[in-house]
Structure 1
Amino acid sequence: MAYTALYRVYRPQTFQDVVGQEHVTVTLRNALREQRLSHAYLFNGPRGTGKTSAAKIMAKAVNCEQPQDGEPCNQCATCKAITDGSVTDVLEIDAASNRGVEEIRDIRDKVKFAPSDVKYKVYIIDEVHMLTTEAFNALLKTLEEPPSHVIFILATTEPHKLPATIISRCQRFDFHRISLREMVRRLSYICESQQVSVEEQALTLVAKMAEGGMRDALSLLDQAISYSNEKITAADIMQITGTVSQGYFSTLARSVANRDVAQVMEQFDKVMVQGKDPEQFLHDFLYYYRDMLLLKTAPHLEEIVERTMIDDQFAQVAQLYEIPHLYSAIEVCNQSLAQLKWSTYARVLVELTLVKLCQLPGQSPQQGATQSAAVSNTASGEDLAGLANRIRQLEERLAQLAQGQGLQSGQAQAEEPRKQEARRPVAAAGGGSRTPMNRVREAAMAVNEALSRQVRGQWSQILADVKKVKIQYQAWLVNGQPAAVGSDSVVVTFTSPIHCDKTMEPELKNVIERAILGVVGRPLQLLSVMEEEWQSVYQQAAQGDAQKQEEQDPFVAEAIKLVGEGLVEVKE
């Protein structure tokens, strides 16, 4: 006899068998028990959560010869015939392949005929959102007032695509993603029934990979049973799904925290040699950082962790990261994932992302503690006699300044740094952007770091909103990177002069600024500049701040550091 897939063997046959949808099954059982049946139902929710199975159970329950507390008996001839699919009055229609108006008109014409074998005609229309507009219009009147012997059950994964006129004619039931705990319990029961030996960690990994869909979990378990010899292990699940182990990511994250670029590149090359997909690798690494952030901010919510197991190694690696560092790492990975969809060189982009992660501002707690200890040791080991000598010299110079004796020498030394002022760099040759550089300088002088991080983190959403207007607009903008946000403007740097100039055209510029307003929540003017121009302006702004500090008399500055600004008074 041919082998039957597990998700077909263990398809729920009663409402009690439907896992994780008690809010739906209890309501339907009560309605069946009290004979409060509606003429149309809408089941919507993620894939593999039991929508079609619940519809078939409903069809059996309304036609069962001996119903038991709102459940079908599954023993009578009617229940067995509906389970076998041999009842012509219970029709399951795939709207993806029967989406035209002619198919719906055929249903509408046959609805008026009474059922031949059972009490109710049941029409189960799966993926109903695939119907055309004309087909929906043909279904409207019949769906609102069908004959008393007909029940419609519509199932869909995308209810937002259904017309409001269809939804308002149905009782709507929202199926939820199945929780991790319930899915593991169900998988364990199936393994016991199949007499399969399996590690608990492997079942947890299968449940997490299924992302709330029981059908996906059973398909993966079926594949694992075929792959494994005696016992299903977590390593088997990782091998057949192409995922990377948590221990690998822990080693990689530790090397990133230590800023060891060579070790990071070596680790990445290992997974590339095994044929892993760079985009899937970066996606999993993003979720690793996401789970680490949840561990540090909400340590008691272990059930919402997506990809990782909370073990000692994971907790130790998490101690190497501060929360702001995790924010930055997640933003960098998210931006790179958005760019990967348009990049030809996926591996190079992922390698660039890993190098960026190693060079993010901030440091691990261990590094901070090491540097603090070094500073403390240096301070404690400095010669106290030398400090006393420096204090005495400063006191003598302050006395000379007060008497006017050292004024000329002080002015000469104060003018010396001005003579050594560095020449301001100029923009690279080859023409600049059409953006007014005075606005760029203003933005560089008043950078809002918090808003800059927000824009960088939401840049992929801004690109998506621009794409909704016109995909060509997004293609012009995707080459840019948000460099800084000032008081009322955002500086976006480009490596291509064509993209830089194009984004400053009035029509495209207005579209981008509207997208930024919709995502960020405040109006910001777009300033598109070449990356070399921005580096030049940013260095000028930094040198301007340094120059202000250098213009102060060095003796006065040293005195302020020593005794405080309140005790120093300079007389001409």
Structure 2
Amino acid sequence: MAYTALYRVYRPQTFQDVVGQEHVTITLRNALRESRLSHAYLFNGPRGTGKTSAAKIMAKAVNCEQPIDGEPCNQCETCKAISNGSVTDVLEIDAASNRGVEEIRDIRDKVKFAPSDVRYKVYIIDEVHMLTTEAFNALLKTLEEPPSHVIFILATTEPHKLPATIISRCQRFDFHRIPLKVMVNLLQKICESQGVRVEEQALQLVAKMAEGGARDALSLLDQAISYSEDEVRASDIMQITGTVAQTYFSVLARHIVERDVAQVMEQFDQVMVQGKDPEQFLHDFLYYYRDMLLLKTAPQLEEIVERTMIDDQFAEVAKLYSLPDLYATIEMCNAALAQLKWSTYARVLVELTLVKMCQPSGAQGGGAAILDAAPMNSEELSGMSNRIRILEERLAQVLQGQVMIPGQPSVEEPRKVEPRRIAAAAGGGSRTPINRVREVAKNLDENLTRQVRGQWSQILTDLKKVKIQYQAWLVNGQPVAAGNDAVVVIFKSPIHCDKTMEPELRSVVERVMSNALGRQLQLLSVMEEEWQGVDEQVGQRDEAVEEGQDPFLTEAIRLVGEGLVEVKD
């Protein structure tokens, strides 16, 4: 007889066999025992956690001739026939390869017929999120009100891709990742039943690599048994998965904290010679530092043992690192992993990251590093303290009016009252010409302004389609005035205000506005305070004109600004 994979041999046959999902199995058993069956169920969760197995057990339980406390007996002819797949009324459909509307219409037409061999027709649709929109629409009505002899069980790893109308018609059960201890116990029992000797650390590594999926764990264990001779060891698991031993990471981390670049490069070269993947190496190294951080901040946290074995060497290396060093190291590894997805030279990038880890944290500090390298002597410190004391005394005298600051007008001299200028002298102004903003405020078009405001959300949506970063820069802006072939947009953030006036971004925004409004408008980005000043000036000028002010004076102020016009009698 051909060899059967372990995950097929040990597929759960009862709800009690489904490990790590008690919150699901208890609910289903109670519903079966009390005959409170729903017409549709949705099983979602990570791969290999028992969704399809639970669906098949459910199909046997509802049709079992002699159920035992909500469990299928697995002894009657019906249970045996469903287990070997010979019952035509229990259909398992792969939605990835049967995702079209025609396949769903075929199901919809056949559900009306009564089952021929068993009590309930059960449709198990795996990876249901792969169905097309038309297929979902064809399934809706049948899923909501199927015949009394039909039960639908939908399984998926990505429930967020399902329409809300589908989810609302099902009882939803969330399958969780299987905890590490539960996984290790399961693997231990299987090894005992198979007569296989295995190291405890090897089981820990297999469970860690599976990341909560029993099927992945059994597949990896199956491969390790085939690779090993008389006993499955941790080194065998590392060899077939391409991972690196924890003792190696401890040695490497010690060289890094000692700033020994040569030893770090030599250790990394040893791993590369063995054919390890640079990305997998950096991924494991990141988790090594992550566990070190947890050990220093939350030593009682059980999740630490899910990645590393807390031994004496690991604890000693952890003492050599401070928390800021760990923060910086983890951020470096994370940034490098993000860059590896687009890099052609993965090994060079990992080597660069390791060299950066060996650099002192103050090496990039600039001024701080200089101060540390050249400490001041006692004479320089005393001279600096004397200068500071003299400056403090002078400042106190100035505040009391006892000392005059050179260039400052005396108290008796009448100070010239300068008109308020719009341009922010403190550096908070924008790069937009204020005279151009005044022209828009002077020739304000109310209809155009309302049109721009009404179309603003559509403009942002169209801009997001071009590039989401462009929309992010403009989203905090608010159009306040339009006219004279321009639109004024105000901002509270000077960064956003200046960015939107850069030529590239500005041209894109103006093109999008032209498409949305049907006319070409120039973008003028200003700070909110600047616009308030312009608005007040225009209002005051209009009032002055209404009171009979000289029109020539008004035009001069408009052209050069109020601050540069002086009126003499």
Provide the TM-score with structure 1 as the length reference: 0.66
Residues 199 and 231, structure 1, Cα contact 8 Å, conserved in 2: yes
Aligned counterpart, 1:299: 299
Work out the CA distance in 1 between the residues paired with 2:106 and 2:336.
50
Work out the CA distance in 1 between the residues paired with 2:502 and 2:272.
36
- What aligned pairs does 1:271-350 form with structure 2 within 5 A after superposition? 271-350=271-350
C-alpha deviation, 1:143, in angstroms: 0.1
Distance change in 2, residues 1:503/1:38 (3 Å)? farther
C-alpha deviation, 1:472, in angstroms: 7.7
Residues 503 and 509, structure 1, Cα contact 8 Å, conserved in 2: no
Distance change in 2, residues 1:358/1:508 (3 Å)? farther
Amino acid paired to 2:257: A
Amino acid paired to 2:355: V
- What aligned pairs does 1:185-196 form with structure 2 within 5 A after superposition? 185-196=185-196
C-alpha deviation, 1:42, in angstroms: 0.1
- What aligned pairs does 1:262-277 form with structure 2 within 5 A after superposition? 262-277=262-277
Work out the CA distance in 2 between the residues paired with 1:92 and 1:122.
8
Residues 500 and 506, structure 2, Cα contact 8 Å, conserved in 1: no
Work out the CA distance in 2 between the residues paired with 1:346 and 1:320.
29
Work out the CA distance in 2 between the residues paired with 1:19 and 1:489.
57
- The answer to which of 501-510 and 24-33 deviates more is 501-510
Amino acid paired to 1:17: D
- What aligned pairs does 1:397-436 form with structure 2 within 5 A after superposition? none
Work out the CA distance in 2 between the residues paired with 1:336 and 1:130.
33
Aligned counterpart, 2:92: 92
Aligned counterpart, 1:21: 21
Distance change in 2, residues 1:22/1:247 (3 Å)? same
Residues 289 and 326, structure 2, Cα contact 8 Å, conserved in 1: yes
Work out the CA distance in 2 between the residues paired with 1:214 and 1:362.
46
Aligned counterpart, 1:506: 505
- What aligned pairs does 1:561-572 form with structure 2 within 5 A after superposition? none
Distance change in 2, residues 1:162/1:344 (3 Å)? same
Q: 1:174 aligned to 2:170? A: no
Amino acid paired to 1:107: I
Please, which runs of 5 or more residues in structure 2 have no aligned partner? Answer: 364-376, 391-425, 429-462, 470-492, 510-526, 528-569
Residues 259 and 359, structure 1, Cα contact 8 Å, conserved in 2: yes
Work out the CA distance in 2 between the residues paired with 1:270 and 1:296.
29
C-alpha deviation, 1:277, in angstroms: 1.1
Amino acid paired to 2:29: R
CA shift digits 1:99-130 (9 cap, x unpaired): 00000000000000000000000000000000
Work out the CA distance in 2 between the residues paired with 1:228 and 1:151.
45
Residues 46 and 157, structure 1, Cα contact 8 Å, conserved in 2: yes
Distance change in 2, residues 1:185/1:105 (3 Å)? same
- What aligned pairs does 1:56-71 form with structure 2 within 5 A after superposition? 56-71=56-71
C-alpha deviation, 1:307, in angstroms: 2.4
Distance change in 2, residues 1:362/1:315 (3 Å)? farther
SS across alignment from 1:505: helix
Residues 180 and 306, structure 2, Cα contact 8 Å, conserved in 1: no
Amino acid paired to 1:265: M
Aligned counterpart, 2:210: 210
Work out the CA distance in 1 between the residues paired with 2:37 and 2:186.
30
Work out the CA distance in 1 between the residues paired with 2:95 and 2:303.
36
Residues 295 and 304, structure 2, Cα contact 8 Å, conserved in 1: no
Residues 325 and 360, structure 1, Cα contact 8 Å, conserved in 2: no
Residues 125 and 154, structure 1, Cα contact 8 Å, conserved in 2: yes
Aligned counterpart, 1:52: 52
C-alpha deviation, 1:306, in angstroms: 4.0
Residues 325 and 362, structure 1, Cα contact 8 Å, conserved in 2: no
SS across alignment from 2:361: coil
SS across alignment from 1:62: helix
Please, which runs of 5 or more residues in structure 1 have no aligned partner? Answer: 364-386, 403-437, 441-467, 475-487, 492-499, 511-524, 526-572
Work out the CA distance in 1 between the residues paired with 2:304 and 2:357.
25
Aligned counterpart, 1:183: 183
CA shift digits 1:479-503 (9 cap, x unpaired): xxxxxxxxx7899xxxxxxxx9999
Aligned counterpart, 2:141: 141
Work out the CA distance in 2 between the residues paired with 1:83 and 1:503.
67
Work out the CA distance in 1 between the residues paired with 2:107 and 2:328.
56
Work out the CA distance in 2 between the residues paired with 1:197 and 1:471.
60
Work out the CA distance in 2 between the residues paired with 1:253 and 1:473.
40
Residues 473 and 508, structure 1, Cα contact 8 Å, conserved in 2: no
C-alpha deviation, 1:234, in angstroms: 0.4
Work out the CA distance in 2 between the residues paired with 1:292 and 1:471.
43
Distance change in 2, residues 1:490/1:246 (3 Å)? farther
Work out the CA distance in 2 between the residues paired with 1:359 and 1:501.
38
Residues 256 and 358, structure 1, Cα contact 8 Å, conserved in 2: yes
- What aligned pairs does 1:101-180 form with structure 2 within 5 A after superposition? 101-180=101-180
- The answer to which of 287-296 and 54-63 deviates more is 287-296
Work out the CA distance in 1 between the residues paired with 2:466 and 2:245.
37
CA shift digits 1:491-529 (9 cap, x unpaired): 9xxxxxxxx99998326999xxxxxxxxxxxxxx9xxxx
Work out the CA distance in 1 between the residues paired with 2:83 and 2:121.
15
SS across alignment from 1:146: coil
C-alpha deviation, 1:302, in angstroms: 3.0
SS across alignment from 1:152: strand
Work out the CA distance in 2 between the residues paired with 1:306 and 1:471.
43
Distance change in 2, residues 1:54/1:503 (3 Å)? farther
Higher CA-based Rg: 2
Aligned counterpart, 2:476: none
Work out the CA distance in 1 between the residues paired with 2:309 and 2:45.
27
Work out the CA distance in 1 between the residues paired with 2:325 and 2:494.
25
Aligned counterpart, 2:240: 240
Distance change in 2, residues 1:362/1:60 (3 Å)? farther
Work out the CA distance in 2 between the residues paired with 1:10 and 1:503.
64
Distance change in 2, residues 1:501/1:243 (3 Å)? farther
Identity within the alignment, %:
81
Amino acid paired to 2:236: D
Distance change in 2, residues 1:38/1:235 (3 Å)? same
- What aligned pairs does 1:517-536 form with structure 2 within 5 A after superposition? none
Aligned counterpart, 1:219: 219
- What aligned pairs does 1:437-476 form with structure 2 within 5 A after superposition? none
Work out the CA distance in 2 between the residues paired with 1:470 and 1:356.
38
CA shift digits 1:208-251 (9 cap, x unpaired): 00000000000000000000000000000000001011111111
Distance change in 2, residues 1:43/1:348 (3 Å)? same
Aligned counterpart, 2:481: none
Work out the CA distance in 2 between the residues paired with 1:119 and 1:15.
20
Amino acid paired to 2:110: K
Residues 288 and 308, structure 2, Cα contact 8 Å, conserved in 1: yes
Distance change in 2, residues 1:172/1:473 (3 Å)? closer
Amino acid paired to 2:505: P
Work out the CA distance in 1 between the residues paired with 2:79 and 2:114.
19
